[in-house]
Amino acid sequence: MTEHRIMEERRQKAADFRQLGLDPYSNEFKPDMSLAAFRAEYDDKSREDLSECQDSYKLSGRMMAMRGMGKTSFYQIQDRSGKLQLMLQQKTLGGEYDKLKLLDMGDFIGVTGTPMKTKTGELSLNISEFKILTKSLRPLPEKFHGLTNVEQRYRQRYLDLIVNEQSREIFKARSKIIRGIQEFLDSRDFIEVETPVLSDIPGGATAKPFETHHNALDEDLTLRIATELHLKRLVIGGFERVYEIGRLFRNEGVSTRHNPEFTTIEFYQAYATYEDFMILTEALFRKLVLNLHGKYQIPYGEHVLDFEKPFRRVSIARLVGEHLKFDEEKIKKLENTDDVDWVLEIANGRTVTPDTPKKILKEHEPLADTREARRNLALHLLYEVFEHEIEDKLIQPTFLLDFPMSVSPLARKRDGDSGVVDRFELFIAGMELANAFSELNDPDDQRARFDKQAQLKAAGNQELHDPDEDFLTALEHGMPPTAGEGIGIDRLAMLLTNSPSIREVILFPKMRQVQ
C-alpha cells in the first residue's frame, strides 16, 4: 500500500475517533511514572506475586508493536525510558475492545491497568482502559529492520530516534558526557559563562568564518570560529577559572570528523601551565570514561583504548623520527634541530601536497639568521609531515608536544627554546581531541604575531584574520599567567560511544540539500 493510501486510511480513523466523541489529539492524560520506573518496581516480582496485585497505574507511550490473538491483543509501547508490553482482553474492555482496530503503529496512547506477568515471564500491564492521545498519520519504518538508510537517519533524526535504540543511547551518553565535564570543572572552582556568537572580527583559531550582516547597525559580522579571545578577556577581568560550552561555526568541508557547526568546550585557568593541564586532562578523560563505561578500557572500532595507563607525552619531531625508523641518537638530534636543509629533505614528498614545503618556506621569508627562526621553520616542516603521515596512527591517548611558534599564534614561547611554544594536542584513535597551551600574555609579542597573520592574509590565506585591537587593548591591561584548553565535544562523543562518524553524535548534522 502506498504511503498516500496509508495516510488516507489513518485520517479516516482519526475522523472515526471524533465520531465516537474522542479527540485523537488529546492533551489531558497524565502518566503516573515512566515505563522504566514501572519496570524497576515490578521486574523482580514473580508471576504468582503479581496475580494478587491490585495496584493500578496510568502509563503512556508510542505504540511500537501490535499482535492480535482473537479476543486478546498484545501491544508494546515506548517512552523516553524504554518499552513495556500491554495485554488487552475483550473480557476486560468489553465494547471498548472494538476500538482497537482504529489504532496503528506509531500512535500515542494512554492506558490504565495492573501489573502482571505472562506465562513466559514478561512483565506487562493488564489494561482496563485505554485512550488515544495522538493519531500518527505517517507509518514508521519497517519494524524488523528499523531505519537502516544512513542518509535518511541523519536527515530524519526523529525517525532514527524512534526506531533505533542505539541512536537514543548515543545521545543520552552525549548529554552525560557534557554534564560530567561541567561537574568536573565546577568542582575545581571554574564558572560557566556565555560569550557572543556574532563577532566583529573572527579570532582564536585558523579557519574561514561564515559571514552575515546586521541590518539595523549596517555592520558585517561573522559567526564565531572560537571562544578563546572573549574568554581571555574574562581572565583579564578577574574570572581566573572560566569555561564555556558552545557552538562554533567554520566555513569548511564536511567529513566523518568535520561538521560546519560543532560544539566545543574551552576553559582557562590563571596561574596554571600547559603541563598542569596535561594532568587535569588525563583526570577529566578518566572520569568521563569511568562514568560512562564503568571501566578504563573501551572499544573504538577495531581497537581497545586504555585510559588507565599514563598518557604518552611525545614531541612532533620524535614521532617523525620513529616513523622514519631513525635510531635514538638521530631522533634526539631531530628533536633539537635547527637544520632547515636537513628537515626540508625529510619533508619533501611527505606532505599533503608536493608544494607544501615551498609554501611554508615562503611564509617564513625573510628568514632571520637566528636559531629561533630556523628552529621554528624546521619544526613547522616536521609538523606538516606529522599531519600527513602520522596523526591517524596515534591510537592510544597521546599528548603531542613541541609545536612551532608559527602554527601557534596565541601560545607562549618556551623559556630557553623560543622557536617552540608551550602547547600540547591530545590525540586518541587517530583524532585530535584537545588543544591546550600556556597563553601568550605579552601584548607586544601578541601584536607582532597578529601583524604577521595579517600579512599572510593579505598574501591570500583566507583562514587568517585581522588583528583584534580590542583584545590587544585588554591584554595591555595585563593578563595573569594562564593556561587554556579546547576540547571538541562531538569528537569526544564519537570516541566514548564508539561512533565512526561525527554525524552519529550530532542530532541534526549538515546535509547537502536534496535536489
Residue type, 85: Q
- Residue 219's identity, in one-letter code, is E
Mean pLDDT, range 117-128, rounded to an integer:
96
pLDDT tops 80 at residue 114: yes
Q: For residue range 35-76, list pLDDT tens digits in order.
A: 999 999 999 999 999 998 999 999 999 999 999 878 999 999
Please indicate whether residue 460 or residue 190 has the higher confidence score (pLDDT).
Answer: 190
Is 90 exceeded by the pLDDT of residue 334?
yes
Determine the average pLDDT of the residues in 256-280: 96
What secondary structure, in 3-state letters, does 253-275 show? CCECCECCEEEEEEEEEECCCHH
- Rounded distance between C-alpha atoms, residue 331 and residue 194, angstroms: 44
> Does residue 145 have a pLDDT over 80?
no
The class that CATH gives domain 187-336+371-488 is alpha beta
**Angle formed by the axes of helices 165-186 and 274-293, nearest 10°:** 140
pLDDT digits (tens, 9 = 90+) for 79-110: 999 999 999 999 999 999 999 999 999 999 99
Name the band, by pLDDT with cuts 50, 70 and 90, for residue 164. very high
- Residue 460: the pLDDT is 83
DSSP state of 411: B
How far is residue 351 CA from its own chain's centroid?
A: 29
Domain residue ranges of the chain, discontinuous segments joined by +: 3-140, 187-336+371-488
Is the confidence at residue 234, as pLDDT, over 70? yes
Identify the CATH homologous superfamily for domain 3-140: Nucleic acid-binding proteins (2.40.50.140)
What residue type is 396 in one-letter code? Answer: Q
Task: Give the Å distances, CA to CA, from 124 to 39, 299, 331.
Answer: 9, 35, 67
d(CA 193, CA 145): 44
In this prediction, residue 150 has a pLDDT band, given cuts at 50, 70 and 90, of confident
Q: Which amino acid is at 426?
A: L
In tens, the pLDDT along 344-379 reads: 999 999 999 999 999 999 999 999 999 999 999 999
Cα gap 419→332, rounded to integer Å = 17
Average pLDDT, integer, range 20-38: 97
When pLDDT is averaged across residues 391-408 and rounded to a whole number, the result is 96
Q: Is the pLDDT of residue 144 over 50?
A: no
Pure H helices in 193-327:
228-236, 274-293, 316-323
Least confident range from 104-108, 155-159, 327-331: namely 155-159
The pLDDT, as a whole number, for residue 458 is: 85
For 237, residues 6+ apart whose C-beta sits below 8 A from its C-beta are none
Which pLDDT does position 146 carry in this prediction? 58
Q: What is the pLDDT of residue 265?
A: 98
Judged by average pLDDT, the poorest of 93-102, 152-161, 256-265, 456-465 is 456-465
Residue among 109, 126, 108 at smallest CA distance from 117:
126
Q: What is the mean pLDDT of the chain?
A: 95
And the C-alpha cell for 56? 493500578
Whole-angstrom distance, CA of residue 204 vs CA of residue 453: 12
